[in-house]
A and B are shown apart, each in its own frame.
Chain A
Amino acid sequence: MSGGMIGFLGFALALGLIALGFPVAVAMAVVGVGGFWLLNGWTGAAFILGSSPFEAIFPYSLSVVPLFVMMGVFAARAGLSRSLFDMVNSFLGHVRGGLAVTAVGACALFGAICGSSLATVATMGRVAIPEMKRHGYADSLSSASIAAGGTLGVLIPPSILLVIYGILTQTSIGQLFIGAIIPGVLGAVLYGLAIVVRVRMAPHLAPPVARSTWAMRLRSIGRVWGVALLFALVIGGIYLGWFSPTEAAAVGAVGAFVLAVISRELTRQALKESVRETAALTGMIFFILIGASLFNYFLETTGLPAALIRLIEESGLGPTAVLVLIMLFYIVLGCFMDAMSMILLTVPFLAPVAAALGFDMVWFGILIVTVAEIGLITPPIGMNLFVVQATQPGLSQRVVVQGILPFILADVVRLVILASFPILALWLPSKMF
């Protein structure tokens, strides 16, 4: 049996276990270790078992995950997010779906600073979903808005994925950053449209509230100074060069804690629950990273990704057909891998193919990062879907998946637009460099 075949079977087996209700991380880890054992003997399996639990968590850039989660948990406990959503609601509450559109915008903004989809979803899910629920929004709409919104941040600089792509392909990181802005904003606008259309079709998903008076609005503005201060500090600090995006997570966590203390809402009980939430949510994310690392060891040695890319390369198809195949390939691969692993694993093989077809490498990089993120929200297995589920005890995966379809359609529209009009990614860089 060829390595590629074993790779396919491994995919199928992991999918089967997950369908049978195995936790995603456990299914990936079991198949990864078992498959690696089969292909490389016990020595190989022994090595990855002793290596992944350390190395998958060790990278410094991952420190944003627990710290931004803490920021989200404290912000929610302190009532910061409540006051924010009350304010938004006073302005937009009479517009159907207005809160969900705002949540997507907030995700894009937050993702822009944090750079990690998982951390964005974990943080904003904790902050925004209970608030939308309080205003009568259906779980399917609110959870899907957050899962989808979490994918937007990677395109808005700074973006660690674009840095990695730039290093792997020797493309200007500055041009990638600038070029990604319009596609990122386009993504947010299309998600907003998806919400508006969806809610028009099914109005019960987002009940409107009575239009607020200006007095109520002003009062609600008066209450959001805490959140405003926190966001201004975190975002402003990065742009003023006080701290790096990675360090911003720590500033945000400490800032949210201080605000929670000042607000006097951080009772002993609330503190206990904050600790519990942080522990459960980050424990689950980190264990998924370990499971994914074990699975990726296996996938890599099967040679499956490389074989699929060779298939694309040797197909003799034209640029458009190849581009479509590459997109499909990423969406399928996105079932199992986080965007970072996918890019590290495939871009070295794909970049020469793209260059040979005469693709502009800045445009191609932005497309690749966009499509790699879409894999995070496509069922049956999308990391963002799982993380958003984990932020709400009792939320079922079925409900999340029910709500995600309009957003996937919006992404397909975005890909078609970006693929058809490279100018959207290339116009800003041409003005700046």
Chain B
Amino acid sequence: GTAAAQTTLKVSHYLPPVHGIHTDFIVPWTEQVTACTNGEIQFEIFPGGTQLGNVAKQQEQVLAGVVDIAHGLHGIPRGRFPRTSLIELPFLTDDAGAASETLWELYPDHLAPEYKGLKVLALHAHNGGLIHTSDKKVETMDDLKGLRLRTPSPAVSAMLTALGATPQGLPPGEVYENIQKTVIDGTVFPWDPVKSFGLNEVLKYHLDAGAYTVPFFFVMNERKYEGLSDTAKTCIDEASGAALVAKFGDWWDKWDAAGRQEAEAAGHTITALSPEERQRWRDALKPVTEAYIAETAKQVDDAQAIYDAMRAKLAEKGQQ
């Protein structure tokens, strides 16, 4: 038969090709679209470690048309997605499934303005992050006093400062040697990167605080999308959106489980934050949350409304 003209789309992301994001999510997604279009759409993937795998450039690459599709972190560089980043505020959610769906449901009415030029294929967020330490066991707020902890985002830095710890910005690849040399006392991460960066070798204590999450985007260049055939557009739509977002809860559980099992096998101490202590942290962090929203409101008029909408959606999903 006469095959339609082939189009090759470039996909980039910043995680190593052994990561679940690559093996469970992006590769199968591209295969699904290729099969659905009978081979019309092919993909070339550039994972972390390649020149196109720089975490800070994912959004720009898509906008510039250097790649067609990218998966990246909203928080790096910071401040580009102030609306979406409100999900990072402390104690909003500790569940990847609920957080991912909330983002997707709020996207059309509340978050869309910050994705100009982008066709948003999916938004998601990881399970509640933990506080991992090497020598000092953390159970209460007082244990955090003076600890130097690596943090992923300004929201988490503000949270740690309010709780008495010293936040330290550091590239994820440098965390291992800095913990090993006791330059920092630990790091704030979900379970998954603890395994992918080999950190269980240098950590001993894990406090399951469930205190924060971090959002991720999966986006396509809008003009490129509009220029595709109707079949291709339909296939991409079918593979993306709500159907894709719904998968992230289980995926994150699976990716995190590997890190937790590794820690358990190594005989580490894993503690959950007690309900009373959790309330103490919440109370202590109220001013941080308010200040962060006020700061965001300088850029985004309805920051408070978006935060409230996030809380309401998450409450519907049984969070808090």
Whether the complex brings A and B within 8 Å at their CB atoms is answered yes
Chain A residues close to B by CB (< 8 Å): 40, 43-44, 46-48, 51, 55, 59-61, 158, 160, 163-164, 166-170, 172-174, 238, 241, 243-247, 293, 296-297, 300, 344-345, 347-348, 351
- Among B71-99, those with CB < 8 Å from A are none
- The CA of A297 and the CA of B61, in the complex, are separated in Å by 13
Interface flag for B66 (CB, 8 Å): yes
Contact call B173/A43, Cβ cutoff below 8 A: no
- The CA of A163 and the CA of B176, in the complex, are separated in Å by 8
* 18 contacts across the A-B interface (CB closer than 8 A): A43-B65, A44-B66, A46-B64, A47-B66, A55-B56, A60-B171, A60-B174, A61-B174, A167-B16, A167-B197, A169-B18, A173-B176, A241-B182, A244-B178, A245-B177, A297-B52, A344-B49, A348-B17
* Number of chain B interface residues as a range: 20 to 34
- The CA of A166 and the CA of B180, in the complex, are separated in Å by 15
B183: A residues at CB distance < 8 A: 241, 243-244, 247
Interface flag for B32 (CB, 8 Å): no
| Residue in contact with A168 in the complex, picked from B16, B195, B201, CB distance below 8 Å | B16
A300: B residues at CB distance < 8 A: 46, 50-52
If A168-B17, A174-B202 are given as contacts, then 17 extra A-B residue pairs at C-beta distance below 8 Å, sorted by A number, are A43-B64, A43-B66, A47-B61, A47-B66, A51-B60, A60-B170, A158-B177, A163-B176, A163-B198, A166-B198, A168-B16, A170-B195, A174-B201, A297-B52, A344-B50, A345-B50, A348-B16
Q: Which residue of B lies closest to A299 (CB)?
A: B51
- The CA of A44 and the CA of B12, in the complex, are separated in Å by 14
Contact call A246/B56, Cβ cutoff below 8 A: no
Interface flag for B57 (CB, 8 Å): yes
Contact call A167/B178, Cβ cutoff below 8 A: no
Contact with A along B180-204 (1 / 0, CB 8 A): 1111000000000001111001100
Q: Which residue of A lies closest to B65 (CB)?
A: A43
A344: B residues at CB distance < 8 A: 49-50
Which of A167, A169, A174, A347 has the most B CB atoms < 10 Å from its CB?
Answer: A167
Contact call B50/A167, Cβ cutoff below 8 A: no
Contact call B49/A173, Cβ cutoff below 8 A: no
What is the number of contacts between chain A and chain B, taking CB atoms within 8 Å? 94
| Residue in contact with A173 in the complex, picked from B17, B56, B201, CB distance below 8 Å | B201
* A247 nearest CB across to chain B (Å): 7
Instruction: Known A40-B66, A163-B176; judge A241-B50 contact (CB<8 A).
Output: no
Contact call B181/A238, Cβ cutoff below 8 A: yes
B271: A residues at CB distance < 8 A: none
Q: Which residue of B lies closest to A303 (CB)?
A: B44
Contact call B181/A241, Cβ cutoff below 8 A: yes
* B199 nearest CB across to chain A (Å): 9
- The CA of A51 and the CA of B177, in the complex, are separated in Å by 28
Contact call A296/B51, Cβ cutoff below 8 A: yes
Chain B residues close to A by CB (< 8 Å): 16-18, 46-47, 49-52, 54, 56-57, 60-61, 64-66, 170-171, 173-174, 176-178, 180-183, 195-198, 201-202
| Residue in contact with A246 in the complex, picked from B18, B46, B47, B174, CB distance below 8 Å | B174
- The CA of A348 and the CA of B22, in the complex, are separated in Å by 12
Contact call B51/A297, Cβ cutoff below 8 A: yes
Instruction: Known A43-B65, A60-B170, A345-B49; judge A245-B181 contact (CB<8 A).
Output: yes
A163: B residues at CB distance < 8 A: 173, 176-177, 198
- The CA of A311 and the CA of B52, in the complex, are separated in Å by 24
Q: Which residue of B lies closest to A298 (CB)?
A: B51
- The CA of A406 and the CA of B4, in the complex, are separated in Å by 58
Contact call B66/A59, Cβ cutoff below 8 A: no
* B96 nearest CB across to chain A (Å): 22
B47: A residues at CB distance < 8 A: 348
Contact call B66/A293, Cβ cutoff below 8 A: no
Instruction: Known A61-B171, A173-B201, A300-B46; judge A55-B54 contact (CB<8 A).
Output: yes
A172: B residues at CB distance < 8 A: 198, 201
* B87 nearest CB across to chain A (Å): 27
- The CA of A345 and the CA of B180, in the complex, are separated in Å by 27
B196: A residues at CB distance < 8 A: 167, 170
* B55 nearest CB across to chain A (Å): 10
A173: B residues at CB distance < 8 A: 176, 198, 201
A241: B residues at CB distance < 8 A: 181-183
* B5 nearest CB across to chain A (Å): 18
* B200 nearest CB across to chain A (Å): 10
Contact call A167/B182, Cβ cutoff below 8 A: no
B51: A residues at CB distance < 8 A: 48, 293, 296-297, 300
- The CA of A144 and the CA of B69, in the complex, are separated in Å by 46
